[in-house]
């Protein structure tokens, strides 16, 4: 405890922790003022491979602190006290790519377990994350309800749609991040400005090639491409996909659903398009020069995981873990803004782009 009554090292609990993108960003964040940090306390996820990855990279000396269990069967009473909570609740029912069932889906209501943890532990602050489509699910009513539930748990909240490519991340990834500070705190969180990162080279070429990936890097196995896929990719130019390229009839994709990411090759001079957990049906991310899908290590670089970060599980499991994660560097920037908020250190900030009064809740 600091002399000002605020903890120096915030003990972080995490629900839906995945492979640890949020946790790595949190534990590597540092305030410009000395003495403020975030430390791992416990985490939970239902995916065994993701939990193994998390333990290996975040808390190898404390594997018991990661509870691999469906959150609906998790006993919060068995978890130790925390000062901060992070939860990237499942996005399946909020993604604009899916049916956007929202609260009517299987995964939509799972955010309530984060709310329950807030009510039980009353951490000083929290960070919640989901896809940009969260704002429009159920005609926007689901989002308003989530915001109201978080506020009624006792927090002043700041939601914002972060475009991570504007923060130096080599990927166009747009996510709603909600930061909440407990109502008894005098501090007020402000959204960090992307301006300090505008000079960064966040092209996918720079991310993947500089420095070169070591030959013995983790999770860098090549994906085998069928000869027809290679022929197709050889005719797709950087930035094009299977529907915008001039392909002969035998290499064309016969479907009425023309998703832009199908066999889309990266534009090396731009950030990558969004890294996802899928891979079948031409949804791998494809190299701009070589006629192949990216390796998992290349995908991890687009998510700003360090090369020392080893993902556990099969190649398909690793691909899913990487695609579902939050970019480490993007998370770190937000966590550093939180630390600076409590440290009383000024930082460049912007107005939130999400109003708390857009629509009434359900």
C-alpha–C-alpha distance, residues 125 and 94, integer Å: 24
Under 8 Å CB-to-CB from 268, ≥6 apart: which residues? 203, 204, 205, 238, 288, 289
Sort 98 into a burial class: Cβ within 10 Å, 0-12 / 13-18 / 19+: middle
Sort 297 into a burial class: Cβ within 10 Å, 0-12 / 13-18 / 19+: buried
DSSP characters for 135-176?
Answer: GTGGGGHHHHHHHHHHHHTTEEEEEEEEEGGGGT-SB--EEE
- Tokens 């889906």 found at: 105
Structure tokens at 252: 């064309």
Domain ranges of the chain: 9-198+326-350
Q: Which three-class secondary structure string do you get for 309-328?
A: CCCCCCHHHHHHHHHHCCCH
Average pLDDT on 40-52 reads 97
Residue 205 pLDDT exceeds 80:
yes
Residue 29 pLDDT exceeds 70:
yes
> Which residues have a catalytic role annotated?
91
Mean per-residue pLDDT over the chain, rounded: 90
Length of the chain: 362
- Tens of pLDDT, residue by residue over 70-123, are 999 999 999 999 999 999 876 444 444 444 443 444 445 788 999 999 999 999
DSSP characters for 252-276?
Answer: S---S---TTTTPBP-TTS-B----
Query: Which pLDDT does position 173 carry in this prediction?
Result: 96
Q: Are 95 and 124 in contact (CB under 8 A)?
A: no
Partners of 356 in the β-ladder? none
What is the three-class DSSP state of 128? strand
- Tens of pLDDT, residue by residue over 228-283, are 999 999 999 999 999 999 999 999 998 877 788 899 999 999 999 999 998 778 88
Report the predicted TM-score, pTM, of the whole model to 2 decimal places.
Answer: 0.92
| Alpha carbon separation from 286 to 216, 241, 271, 322 (Å, rounded) | 22, 10, 13, 16
CATH number for the segment(s) 9-198+326-350: 3.40.50.150
Q: Quickly count helices (H) and strands (E) in the chain.
A: 9, 9
The single-letter DSSP state of residue 83 is: S
């Amino acid at each position: 405890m600091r002399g000002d009554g605020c903890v120096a090292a915030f003990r972080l609990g995490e629900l839906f922790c995945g492979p640890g993108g949020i946790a790595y960003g949190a534990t590597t964040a540092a305030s410009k003022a000395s003495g403020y940090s975030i430390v791992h306390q416990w985490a939970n996820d239902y995916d065994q491979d993701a939990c193994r990855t998390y333990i290996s990279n975040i808390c190898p000396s404390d594997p018991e602190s990661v509870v691999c269990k469906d959150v609906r069967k998790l006993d919060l009473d068995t978890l130790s006290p925390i000062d901060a909570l992070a939860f990237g609740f499942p996005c399946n029912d909020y993604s604009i790519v899916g049916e956007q069932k929202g609260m009517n889906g299987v995964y939509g209501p799972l955010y309530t377990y984060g709310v329950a943890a807030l009510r039980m532990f009353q951490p000083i602050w929290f960070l919640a994350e989901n896809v940009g489509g969260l704002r429009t699910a159920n005609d926007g009513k689901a989002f308003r309800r989530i915001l109201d539930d978080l506020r009624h748990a006792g927090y002043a909240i700041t939601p914002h749609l972060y475009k991570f490519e504007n923060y130096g991340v080599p990927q166009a990834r747009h996510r709603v991040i909600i930061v909440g500070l407990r109502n008894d705190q005098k501090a007020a969180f402000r959204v960090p400005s992307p301006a300090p990162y505008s000079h960064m080279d966040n092209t996918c070429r720079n991310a993947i090639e500089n420095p070169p990936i070591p030959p013995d890097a983790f999770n860098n196995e090549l994906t085998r491409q069928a000869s027809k896929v290679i022929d197709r990719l050889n005719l797709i130019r950087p930035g094009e996909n299977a529907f915008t390229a001039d392909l002969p009839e035998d290499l064309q994709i016969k479907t009425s659903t023309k998703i832009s990411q199908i066999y889309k090759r990266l534009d090396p001079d731009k950030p990558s398009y969004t890294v996802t957990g899928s891979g079948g049906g031409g949804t791998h991310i494809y190299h701009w020069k070589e006629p192949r899908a990216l390796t998992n290590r290349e995908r991890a670089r687009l998510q700003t995981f360090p090369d020392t970060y080893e993902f556990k599980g099969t190649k398909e499991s690793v691909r899913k873990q990487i695609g579902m994660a939050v970019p480490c560097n993007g998370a770190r920037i937000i966590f550093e803004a939180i630390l600076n908020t409590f440290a009383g250190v000024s930082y460049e900030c912007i107005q939130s782009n999400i109003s708390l009064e857009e629509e009434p809740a359900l």
